[in-house]
Structures are given as structure tokens and as C-alpha cells.
């Protein structure tokens, strides 16, 4: 499902994050990316998802060229990719259920199917009573769960998650972990996930990639 060859990318400030990275994760496989804050986990996931361009290298999803190429646009209508990043992504002017419904409508699904998927995903994450509320009216944990519910509603072939458990207490982690483990065990779904620490998922069968923080280059004297 995921093939990476010779990938090189940098932080927005130009600090090197990966150089010559090669990866291969088959359909139904799992990849867990770990590393301290600032090591480049989020940046790498956005490159793999086709949302940000690397400095060089190749990324293919399901045999489709993402880089070099048109990024995520190359995947439209061909591979269902669901991603949830730490910074959120919910639209503030839409309710939770409408946030889930919007990408489904872009796929051209019948309205009955849109409702079934979006409402069902919210219920699975314990958000049924909050479905008509907007993101600012719910807790941070509920927004985290809504992002996972949006991925679930897509019924994705590839799931990309950035620190999905960050900031959640033990009770809130339970529902998220149950869903993550279901994706990880699904032979039709490929899971790529980044976390600072992997102890919570110690039993997860996954390839591991650890990113090391690279210090910024010293400034040249004037």
C-alpha cells in the first residue's frame, strides 16, 4: 500500500527531518512512527498523505504516484485515505455531524448513506448526543474523537493518525484505542500512526520507525 524511496524533507524552518528514507508497508500492514516533539513526525505524515511536498524522493500509495506528482489530488476517487492530525481540522461553522458528512458528500454518496455513516461513526465514539453541536461547543477530547469518527465514516483503505491519544484521559483513551486496534487488525486497512511514546500500544503488531530530533545548524558569525 505504501512505498517510499529516497525521501528527504525539512521543517518549515529548513531543518532536515529525513534524508534518504525508504519504507514499504503492505496492504493491511501497520507503521508506527515515534520520536520526540520536533522530530518531524507530523511533517512526515503530511508528506505521506500527499498534503505537503518533500524536498525530493518518491511516495506511492496503492501503486499511485503521490510524489513526484500532484500529491493528494492524485488519489481522489482511487484510494480512500482518512487522516486525523494533531492540529484538528474540523470546520468551525459546521456541526460535528456535518463535518463528518461533508467529505462523504464530496464522494457523491446518497444522502441516506451519508447519514448512516456519519451518525453511526459519532455514536461509536460516544458523540451521538453532541452530533448537532459545533466544535467550539464541545471539549478537546470530543474534538479528538470527532476527528477519528470522520476517518471512520470514510471506511478508509489507508488511515493516517497523528498523536491520536494526546491530551486524552484514561476514559477517553478507551474508545480511541478500541478503534485504532480495530483498524490495525483489519486486513483491508493500512494504518500509519505517529506517537511520541509507543508504550500504550506495546501489543500492536507494526513496523516501527523512530525519528531523531536534529539540532538546528549554528548561525554563521557576522
Domain of 158, CATH number, reads 3.40.50.300
75 assigned to some structural domain: no
- At residue 10, the pLDDT reads 86
- At residue 87, the pLDDT reads 66
67 assigned to some structural domain: no
Distance of CA 188 to the CA centre of its chain: 17
Strands 30-34 and 190-195: parallel
74 assigned to some structural domain: no
- At residue 89, the pLDDT reads 81
221 assigned to some structural domain: no
- At residue 35, the pLDDT reads 86
Four-point Cα dihedral 160, 161, 162, 165, nearest 10:
-170
159 assigned to some structural domain: yes
60 assigned to some structural domain: no
- What 3 state SS string does the chain have? CEEEEEEEEECCCCCEEEEEEEEEECCCCEEEEECCCCCCHHHHHHHHCCCCCCCEEEEEECCEEEECCCHHHHHCCCCCEEEEECCECCCCCCCHHHHHHHHHHHCCCCHHHHHHHHHHHHHHCCCHHHCCCCHHHCCHHHHHHHHHHHHHHCCCCEEEEECCCCCCCHHHHHHHHHHHHHHHHCCCCEEEEEECCCHHHCCCCCEEEECCCCCCCCCCCC
Domain span including residue 176: 25-45+80-210
Counting as low any pLDDT under 70, the low residues of the chain are 87, 198-200, 202, 213-222
Domains held by the chain: number? 1
- At residue 221, the pLDDT reads 47
Strands 30-34 and 64-67: unpaired
pTM, rounded to two decimals: 0.89
Cα 164–88–206 angle (5° rounding)?
25
- At residue 115, the pLDDT reads 97
Amino acid at each position: 500500500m505504501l512505498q517510499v524511496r529516497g525521501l528527504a524533507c525539512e521543517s518549515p524552518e529548513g531543518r532536515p527531518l529525513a534524508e534518504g528514507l525508504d519504507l514499504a508497508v503492505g496492504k493491511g500492514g501497520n507503521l508506527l512512527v515515534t520520536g520526540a516533539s520536533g522530530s518531524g513526525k507530523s511533517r512526515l505524515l503530511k508528506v505521506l498523505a500527499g498534503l505537503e511536498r518533500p524536498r525530493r524522493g518518491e511516495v506511492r500509495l496503492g501503486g499511485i504516484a503521490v510524489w513526484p506528482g500532484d500529491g493528494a489530488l492524485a488519489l481522489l476517487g482511487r484510494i480512500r485515505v482518512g487522516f486525523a492530525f494533531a492540529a484538528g481540522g474540523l470546520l468551525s461553522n459546521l456541526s460535528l455531524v456535518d463535518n463528518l458528512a461533508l467529505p462523504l458528500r464530496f464522494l457523491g454518496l446518497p444522502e441516506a448513506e451519508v447519514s448512516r455513516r456519519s451518525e453511526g461513526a459519532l455514536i461509536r465514539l460516544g458523540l451521538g448526543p453532541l452530533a448537532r453541536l459545533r466544535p467550539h461547543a464541545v471539549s478537546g477530547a470530543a474534538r479528538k474523537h470527532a476527528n477519528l469518527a470522520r476517518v471512520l465514516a470514510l471506511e478508509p483503505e489507508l488511515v493516517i493518525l497523528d498523536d491520536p491519544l494526546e491530551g486524552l484521559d484514561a476514559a477517553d483513551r478507551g474508545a480511541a484505542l478500541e478503534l485504532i486496534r480495530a483498524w490495525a487488525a483489519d486486513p483491508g486497512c493500512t494504518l500509519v500512526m505517529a506517537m511520541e511514546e509507543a508504550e500504550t500500544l506495546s501489543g500492536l503488531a507494526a513496523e516501527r520507525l523512530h525519528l531523531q530530533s536534529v539540532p538546528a545548524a549554528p548561525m554563521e558569525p557576522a
